[in-house]
Amino acid sequence: MKNITILLFLLLPLISLADPEYSLVLRYLVNLPSETTDKEAIEGLKRMNVSDEAKKDVGVGVATVMKRYELAWYMTENGYVKLGTIGEMFATPFADNYTPNRIQMSGRIYSEGELLEYAKKFIQTGTKVTAGDVQGIKAKGTYPQLAEYLNSLLSDNQVDELNSNTLRQMLVKRPVNFEEVKSLINSTGTSAPKDALAFARIETVELTQLLLDNGADLKADNVLVNGINMGNVEVVQFLLDKGADPCRNETTKIDPLETAERFMNKAKTKERQENLKKIIKILKPATKNCPK
């Protein structure tokens, strides 16, 4: 699930340009004090007697971003714009510059069981479940039952997408957990991304070999440069032995040897500097036949 940003802070100064009734509803919702209960908020909406036309311009996500799920469900049942994907249940109230919004979160804390029931309700009304939603909720680590339920709703293609995205995330963690990567690949049959060797933290020969054995392309752009950046002499030697191109990439114009020299000059630790010196030493003979 990608992080969803609600730009209510930016929207407020502009609402005078919108339909007056829509503006009034939005102002009411985003200015609810945290101590106001959802039941009280619902009664306030009822008193406003919002027209069907105005409801078409007010999304349920305005309520979920404030963690007001009872209010969100009331709005869903009463003609407001439904959640597009279930990930919107966990939208965050930040402006586009990541400055906290001035809207207030509900003071109520929902249990995982309650969130699961609301998720089921939203889904029954047509809210979609995407691989990104499941990935985001799994990443939170606080709602395992909800994540398991949503995972069960994914199609085979969505499961493949989820596993692929999860593997990508694993490969850029510092450090990479080799056993977790191996387990995911073996248990799900997920292939390594073709460009895995160009972006993964290939800090060991063991991981590099695993990725090669499971679909990673040694000829992807800048594989050797990524290995150099990891600063592991054995990995660089392994890549060269397997046939990684030591020459300047004609597409990206990045030269492995020049890159290694630049990294060495900027190394912040003695250990990294020494490792890069060794890498340069094994790169030089490998580049003898490169075009000048």
Residue type at 12?
L
**What class is the 188-286 domain?**
mainly alpha
171, with CB counted inside 10 A (0-12, 13-18, 19+), is buried
What is the domain partition of the chain in residue ranges? Answer: 8-128, 188-286
Write out pLDDT tens, residues 55-66. Answer: 999 999 999 999
Q: Give me the chain's average pLDDT, please.
A: 90
For residue 131, is pLDDT > 50? Answer: yes
* pLDDT single digits (tens) 102-117: 678 888 999 999 999 9
The Cα–Cα gap between 212 and 204 comes to: 13
Residue 182's H or E segment, with its range, is: helix 178-188
Phi, psi of 59 (to 5 degrees): -90, 150
- In which band, very low, low, confident or very high, does the pLDDT at 101 lie, cut at 50, 70 and 90? low
* pLDDT tens digit sequence for 153-207: 999 999 999 999 999 999 999 999 999 999 999 999 999 999 999 999 999 999 9
pLDDT tens, residue by residue, 228-244? 999 999 999 999 999 99
**Which pLDDT score is estimated for 102?**
61
- pLDDT above 80 for 14: no
pLDDT on residue 287? 94
How much is the pLDDT for 99? 44
The pLDDT > 90 percentage for the chain reads 80
Mean per-residue pLDDT, 42-49 = 96
- In this prediction, residue 145 has a pLDDT band, given cuts at 50, 70 and 90, of very high
In this predicted structure, what is the pLDDT of residue 192?
96
Return the structure tokens found at 102. Answer: 């001035």
Residues with Cβ < 8 Å from 123, sequence gap 6 or more?
86, 129, 153
pLDDT of 7 above 80: no
Nearest CA among 196, 201, 247 for reference residue 220: 196
Closest CA to 256 of 271, 236, 238: 236
